[in-house]
């Protein structure tokens, strides 16, 4: 991973946020002088970013307030079994560079944004936990930004761990491809902060997940979290079909199951490569022939995204699930954003009937966001 | 607005798809450049002098008001921006022969559909010739361009491997086989399995791919309960191998 101190080439702070603690913290951390602005820089650039604009956006930091709701339901995907996940967006864009990253088709702002009004985000969560005191919402901060890769700048993780320790009914998920757990791992917690790691075989990490922590580094960080009593989770997502994929994924599961017992692992989600067709052009522009993602045999799926043929997906999912079963039947494995055909093909049943994960799929109250 | 004879400056001709519906071309007064009616710049006698309507504006102010970029096809949009000297990274795409550009415009290919051509420019003359001679439909054209781009990124094919051997349908079949070998081979196997089954009389069984789903479709017309029971019993005797749905 890059040293985040020297990562950003441009640094902007909205004038309304200049004197906030978080801005002072970031200013003192980075080796670059910030520019005070009264509106979003590069406001002339909007809509879909070119590959070059997307690359540059990763190294332009903008601290600003977030307007609107922070907390919202994960949109999931049409026709997929919904696991009732909620997201808390505390920024946008990622300093890492995975070839398959969906942000390439999602982000339309040429900057990495970090929101400074996290206090308002927590007030919003407070309101929801009062309104639904018994609802076991699972909330993740890693949807449009990695939960932990920029944590040295903001130190948000410690703030969130402290807040969630007072709200034990809720579950927070930090989702990351970094190994940056040092800012919170020694804190007291209520056991409701799940530290999850997106993982893939080392061969895929090396070829597709640029500027991320190595597989080994992620697993070591996960082990440290588990040792400190944090529940851990893993996302084997996206699975990518590469030569000898069975061997690579078998060895990934073997390493994981040798390091973590089922009791330590809160969930393991499995998904396969998918993205909207519009993302192909930016992928070509940014990675060209250097990614196996462009070679993948993908077809338009029921929700318009490109996916592997259903038969291949079933085979890939079943392989991973069976490997976990071989180690221990109690590993809580589920499929992410997948059709009912995939559930049937992999588990021969629907998610609400699988012990260990059935609770994720039970309907929760509707939150107006 | 005046009506004047004029030596027309055609430098703004970006070969628009929508023809100017009026009988006279339109020229801007400030820099005497033709902004509408490129297709009828010649008079009946073949001379380049004719009457034109003149608007008192500069061409670069006028042109964007006259042409709706949202309605433009991909190449048309790039040519339009080029004559306006707007910043865009279009040089690689605009190097493709104008004849092919116009064909793509005619088939309403947008910018995202033509962008893959950026990555196959080493085969520019061959691809242009093939596409113009095979006259694919709009959807076939999009598909061929996508497939050629994807296959070229694999760095294992020459033009000899990729070129069309006969008509457009065969070409697409060949490119799809190269692009999706695992899936297509599984489909071939499934079809082979199904062809060896003795289906009951009147039953039409076929293997179908729809997007990411491949399935067996069984169709039959049933006119009575007796016929239904007979069909059900006959179908029950068919033992399809699990390999049919495997990949």
Distance, CA of A222 to CA of A180 (rounded, Å): 10
Say if CB A119 and CB A21 are below 8 A apart.
no
In the block, which residue shows the tokens 């199951």?
A257
pLDDT attached to residue B30: 74
A1-45 pLDDT tens trace: 568 999 999 999 999 999 999 999 999 999 899 999 999 999 988
pLDDT at B6 over 80: no
A154-185 pLDDT tens trace: 999 999 999 999 999 899 999 999 999 999 99
Model confidence band, residue A72 (pLDDT cutoffs 50, 70, 90): confident
pLDDT at A361 over 80: no
Percent of chain B with pLDDT over 70: 90
pLDDT at A193 over 70: yes
> Any idea which of A90-104, B35-49, B121-135 has the lowest mean pLDDT?
B35-49
pLDDT at B2 over 60: no
Answer whether B211 sits within 8 Å of A288, measured CB to CB: no
Backbone phi, psi, residue B117, to 5°: -65, -20
pLDDT attached to residue A344: 74
Strand order in the sheet with A274-275: A274-275, A306-308, A298-300
Question: How close does chain B come to A280, measured CA to CA in Å?
Answer: 9
What are the CA-CA distances from residue A360 to residues A105, A136, A171, A332, B167 (Å)?
28, 9, 12, 11, 53
Answer whether B119 sits within 8 Å of A301, measured CB to CB: no
Which tops the pLDDT comparison, A51 or B23? A51
From chain A, pick out residues whose CB is under 8 angstroms from the CB of B180. 297, 299
Model confidence band, residue A345 (pLDDT cutoffs 50, 70, 90): confident
pLDDT attached to residue A225: 98
> Any idea which of A56-70, B49-63, B85-99 has the lowest mean pLDDT?
B49-63
Backbone phi, psi, residue B244, to 5°: -55, -40
> Any idea which of A196-200, A248-252, B28-32, B140-144 has the lowest mean pLDDT?
B28-32
A253-263 pLDDT tens trace: 999 999 999 99
What is the 8-class DSSP label of residue A345?
H
pLDDT at A75 over 70: no
In the block, which residue shows the tokens 């909330």?
A139
Distance, CA of A54 to CA of A97 (rounded, Å): 10
Q: Please state the rounded mean pLDDT for residues B171-183.
A: 97
Say if CB A348 and CB A335 are below 8 A apart.
no
Which tops the pLDDT comparison, B195 or A70? B195
Strand order in the sheet with B33-36: B2-7, B49-55, B26-28, B33-36
pLDDT attached to residue A2: 60
Report the alpha-carbon angle B85-A59-A173, nearest 5.
130
Say if CB B34 and CB B25 are below 8 A apart.
yes
B117-153 pLDDT tens trace: 999 999 999 999 999 999 999 999 999 999 999 999 9
Model confidence band, residue B219 (pLDDT cutoffs 50, 70, 90): very high
Answer whether A311 sits within 8 Å of B246, measured CB to CB: yes
What is the torsional sign of CA B68, A48, A27, A143? positive
Answer whether A311 sits within 8 Å of B149, measured CB to CB: no
pLDDT at A47 over 90: no
A29-41 pLDDT tens trace: 998 999 999 999 9
Domains of chain A with bracketed CATH: 67-99+118-361 (3.80.30.30)
Answer whether A300 sits within 8 Å of B247, measured CB to CB: no
Model confidence band, residue A138 (pLDDT cutoffs 50, 70, 90): confident
What count of other Cβ atoms lies within 10 Å of the Cβ of residue A29?
Answer: 13
In the block, which residue shows the tokens 């920024």?
A91
Secondary element (H or E) of residue A272: strand A265-272
What's the burial of A205, exposed, middle or buried (CB within 10 Å: 0-12/13-18/19+)? buried
Report the alpha-carbon angle B71-B72-B77, nearest 5.
145
Report the alpha-carbon angle B43-B46-B52, nearest 5.
25
pLDDT attached to residue A137: 85
Model confidence band, residue A357 (pLDDT cutoffs 50, 70, 90): low
From chain A, pick out residues whose CB is under 8 angstroms from the CB of B143. none
Chain centroid to Cα A71, Å, comes to: 15
Give me the DSSP letters along A350-361: -GGGSTTTGGGG
User: Chain B residues contacting A, CB < 8 Å?
Assistant: 89, 112, 115-116, 118-119, 146, 149-150, 153-155, 179-183, 186, 209, 211-214, 245-247
pLDDT attached to residue A358: 67
Q: ipTM score of the complex?
A: 0.86
Q: Please state the rounded mean pLDDT for residues A272-293.
A: 94
Size of interface A-B (CB pairs under 8 A): 66
Could you say which of A50, A281, A297 has the minimum Cβ distance to residue B112?
A281
Question: How close does chain B come to A290, measured CA to CA in Å?
Answer: 9
From chain A, pick out residues whose CB is under 8 angstroms from the CB of B186. 309, 311
pLDDT attached to residue A222: 98
Q: Please state the rounded mean pLDDT for residues B152-162.
A: 95
Which tops the pLDDT comparison, B210 or B38? B210
> What's chain B's average pLDDT?
89
pLDDT attached to residue B22: 58
What are the CA-CA distances from residue A141 to residues A150, A178, A225 (Å)?
12, 14, 17
Chain centroid to Cα B29, Å, comes to: 38
Per residue, the 3-state secondary structure of chain B, as one string, reads: CEEEEEECECCCCCCCCCCCCCCCCEEECCCCEEEECHHHCCCCCCCCEEEEEEECCCHHHHHHHHCCHHHCCHHHHHHHHHHCCCCCCCHHHHCCCHHHHHHHHHCCCCHHHHHHHHHHHHHHHHHHHHHHHHCCCHHHHHHHHHHHHHHHHCCCCCHHHHCCCCCHHHHHHHHHHHHCHHHHHHHHHHHHHHHCCCCCCCCEEEEEEECCEEEEEEECCCCCHHHHHHHHHHHHCCCCCHHHHCC
pLDDT attached to residue A78: 65
- Tokens matching residue A122: 């927590």
Domain boundaries, chain B: 2-67, 73-179, 184-245
pLDDT at B31 over 80: no
> What's chain A's average pLDDT?
91
C-alpha neighbours within 13 Å on the C-beta side of residue B209: 19
Q: Which of B89, B116, B212 to mutate to test the interface with A (most CBs of A within 10 A)?
A: B212
Answer whether A289 sits within 8 Å of B154, measured CB to CB: yes
Model confidence band, residue A363 (pLDDT cutoffs 50, 70, 90): low
Q: Please state the rounded mean pLDDT for residues A300-320.
A: 95
Model confidence band, residue B55 (pLDDT cutoffs 50, 70, 90): confident
Backbone phi, psi, residue B217, to 5°: -110, 125
pLDDT attached to residue A26: 95
pLDDT attached to residue B1: 58
Report the alpha-carbon angle B195-B197-B201, nearest 5.
100
Q: Which of A290, A311, A319 to mutate to test the interface with B (most CBs of B within 10 A)?
A: A311
What is the 8-class DSSP label of residue A60?
E
């Amino acid at each position: 991973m890059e040293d985040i101190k020297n990562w950003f080439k441009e640094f902007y702070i909205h004038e309304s946020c200049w004197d906030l603690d978080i801005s002072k913290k970031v200013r003192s951390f980075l080796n670059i002088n910030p520019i005070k602005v009264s509106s979003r820089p590069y406001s002339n650039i909007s809509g879909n970013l070119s590959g070059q604009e997307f690359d540059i956006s990763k190294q332009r930091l903008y601290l600003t307030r977030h307007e609107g709701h922070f907390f919202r339901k994960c949109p999931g995907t049409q026709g997929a079994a919904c696991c009732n996940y909620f997201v808390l967006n505390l920024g946008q864009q990622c300093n890492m560079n995975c070839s398959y990253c969906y942000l390439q088709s999602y982000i339309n702002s040429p900057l990495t944004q970090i929101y400074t009004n996290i206090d308002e985000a927590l007030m919003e969560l407070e309101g929801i936990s009062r309104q639904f005191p018994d609802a076991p919402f699972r909330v993740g901060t890693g949807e449009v930004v990695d939960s932990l890769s920029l944590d040295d700048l903001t130190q948000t993780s410690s703030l969130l761990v402290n807040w969630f320790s007072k709200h034990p009914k809720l579950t927070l998920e930090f989702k990351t491809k970094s190994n940056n757990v040092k800012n919170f791992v020694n804190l007291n917690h209520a056991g409701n902060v799940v530290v999850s790691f997106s993982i893939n075989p080392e061969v895929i990490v090396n070829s597709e997940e640029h500027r991320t922590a190595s597989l080994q580094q992620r697993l070591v960080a996960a082990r440290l979290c588990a040792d400190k009593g944090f529940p851990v989770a893993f996302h084997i997502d996206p699975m990518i079909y590469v030569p000898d994929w069975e061997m690579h994924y078998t060895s990934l599961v073997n390493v994981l199951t040798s390091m973590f017992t089922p009791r330590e692992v809160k969930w393991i989600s499995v998904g396969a490569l998918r993205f909207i067709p519009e993302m192909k052009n930016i992928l070509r522009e940014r990675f060209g022939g250097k990614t196996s993602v462009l070679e993948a045999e993908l077809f338009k799926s029921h929700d318009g995204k490109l996916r592997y043929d259903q038969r291949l997906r079933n085979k890939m999912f079943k392989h991973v699930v069976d490997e976990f079963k071989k180690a221990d039947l109690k590993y809580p494995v589920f499929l992410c954003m997948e059709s009912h055909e995939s559930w049937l093909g992999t588990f021969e049943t629907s998610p609400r009937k699988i012990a260990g994960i059935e609770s994720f799929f039970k309907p929760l109250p509707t939150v107006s966001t | 607005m005046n009506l004047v004879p004029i030596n027309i400056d055609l430098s703004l001709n970006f070969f628009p798809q929508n023809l100017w519906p009026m009988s006279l071309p339109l020229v801007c007064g400030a820099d005497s450049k033709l902004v509408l009616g490129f297709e009828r710049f010649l008079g009946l006698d073949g001379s380049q002098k004719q009457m034109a309507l003149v608007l008192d504006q500069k061409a670069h102010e006028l042109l964007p008001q006259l042409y709706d970029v949202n309605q433009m096809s991909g190449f048309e949009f790039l040519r339009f921006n080029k004559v306006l000297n707007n910043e865009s990274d279009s040089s690689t795409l605009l190097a493709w022969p104008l004849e092919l550009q116009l064909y793509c415009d005619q088939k309403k290919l947008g910018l995202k559909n033509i962008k893959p051509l950026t990555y196959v420019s080493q085969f520019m003359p061959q691809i242009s010739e093939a596409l113009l001679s095979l006259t694919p439909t709009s959807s076939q054209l999009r598909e061929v361009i996508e497939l050629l781009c994807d296959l070229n990124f694999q760095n294992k094919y020459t033009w000899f491997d990729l070129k069309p051997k006969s008509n457009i349908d065969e070409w697409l079949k060949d490119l799809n086989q190269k692009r999706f070998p695992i899936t297509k081979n599984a489909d071939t196997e499934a079809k082979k399995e199904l062809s060896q089954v003795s289906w009951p009389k009147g039953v039409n069984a076929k293997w179908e791919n729809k997007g990411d789903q491949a399935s067996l479709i069984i169709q039959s017309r049933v006119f009575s309960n007796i016929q239904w029971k007979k069909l059900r019993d006959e179908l029950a005797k068919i033992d399809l191998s699990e390999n049919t749905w495997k990949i």
